[in-house]
Amino acid sequence: MIRTPGQPGRAGTPWVTWTVLTVCGAVFLVGPASGLNPAYGRGPGLLAAQAAYFERWGVVPVELWHGSAQALCTPLTALFVHGNWLHLLGNMLFLYVFGAMTEAHMGRAAFALCYLVTGCLALLGYAVVHAGSDRTLVGASGAISGVLGAFLYLFPRARVTSLFPFLFFLPLRFPAWAVLLFWFALQWLAAGTAAGRPGVAYLAHVMGFALGFGYAWVRRTPAVRVKGAARSTEGDKPT
């Protein structure tokens, strides 16, 4: 849970956040990764269907640069595909916690653009660094990392309730900047130690977070300057 002291925001339902949650959930349930769709069979047949599904809709760096035109669309389609239940639920939890407030502050169009652009660029950035890799990348982690980066810029004074296993899962409240920077540091360290090995694409998380923070900074800075200039002009008017 998050509490934000004295931060302005726009009222309204976070439709973009809810739409992404719904689409990602629906795509997962009807696809082979959930194991719930009988059309994909069971056992070895299901595993083969999952591999083909991820390769078709996920990002494979070596195919992205040297494959078909269809591969060029995969940085977008991969944002809505998840590998398993834990992958899906973890991403959607972060989006649910941090997405609504970020969308309310940014506005729906700007938030949607932030989500899609940072997510695609994070996957593309990973594919550039690992251009010869044949690992398939799927999931919204890069885009959601972008949301976290934007949230950190917009709400640095917010307080987040976190659960820590080594403290017996006691709910503790910390400043958002401390929680998110700690999370970013873990992703950075993991990206360095996991380079070239199979597993989570931590580098995409790092890139997404930096891109989201930069997007919020670039988008907000001109508005702040304009408001400041308006106040200065107002103060100079003769009375």
Catalytically active residues are 141, 205
Q: What are phi and psi of 190, to 5 degrees?
A: -65, -35
CB neighbour burial string for 193-228, b if at least 16 within 10 angstroms, e if fewer: eeeeeeebbbbbbbbbbbbbbebbeebeeeeeeeee
Measured in whole angstroms, the distance separating CA 157 from the mean position of its chain's CA atoms is 21
Number of neighbours of residue 41 by Cβ within 10 angstroms = 13
The token duo for 199 is 């597993």
How far are the Cα atoms of 21, 75, 232 from residue 80, in angstroms, in the given order? 9, 10, 46
From residue 44, alpha-carbon distances to 38, 47, 49, 212 in Å are: 14, 5, 9, 40
Chain Cα centroid distance, residue 15: 16
Chain centroid to CA 137: 14
